[in-house]
Amino acid sequence: MKATRQPVAFRLRRLFTAVLLASFVLALRLLLARQAPVQDEASESKCSERTQIRLFFGLGTPDGFLSEEEWGRFLSDVITPRFSRGVTVLHADGQWRRSDRVHVTKEPSRVVEIVHEDRRETDRLVQEIVAIYRRTYRQESVMLTRERIEVCF
């Protein structure tokens, strides 16, 4: 018996039907396997408006530069007790020029970021830190910036 070949259009129709059926089955399986995400209160992001303060401490003193140990003591003895919930310390390279000088002074610096609820107590604590640093290390100034930010946890 002689095998007959099916017309090309018939074969293409069967192939199209098979692909369509496979796509439908795959879509149905994905739909059934998909579950709505369960959101509990612990996984939801909580956002609130806070104030971020940045303090810029130059490590240069009239006697040279603060060592890592000296900075570490200042951080643990002065900053941490006042902001025990946490701060971020960034290592930076600062530069500045006094108005009566021509040359730019470059020095290693530390930037301390404090995020807090806006309270008068916080301002008092920050001013204490600045005053202690200026007095202890004979600094002209400590730069401070303040901005409102949105914080999400």
More confident residue, 7 or 138: 138
pLDDT digits (tens, 9 = 90+) for 126-153: 999 999 999 999 998 999 999 999 999 8
- Domain membership of residue 137 (yes or no) is yes
| Number of domains present in the structure of the chain | 1
What residue type is 14 in one-letter code? R
Q: Is 38 helix (H, G, I), strand (E, B) or coil?
A: coil
CA 16 to chain centre: 52
pLDDT digits (tens, 9 = 90+) for 56-72: 999 999 999 999 999 99
* Contact yes or no for 139/56 (Cβ under 8 A): no
- Domain membership of residue 55 (yes or no) is yes
Domain of residue 117: give its range: 47-152
CATH number for the domain spanning 114: value is 3.30.70.120
Q: Two tokens at 51?
A: 């104030």
- Domain membership of residue 94 (yes or no) is yes
- Domain membership of residue 72 (yes or no) is yes
User: 101-105 — which CB contacts under 8 Å span 24+ positions?
Assistant: 105/60
- Domain membership of residue 20 (yes or no) is no
**Whole-structure pTM value:** 0.68
- The whole-chain average pLDDT of the chain stands at 84
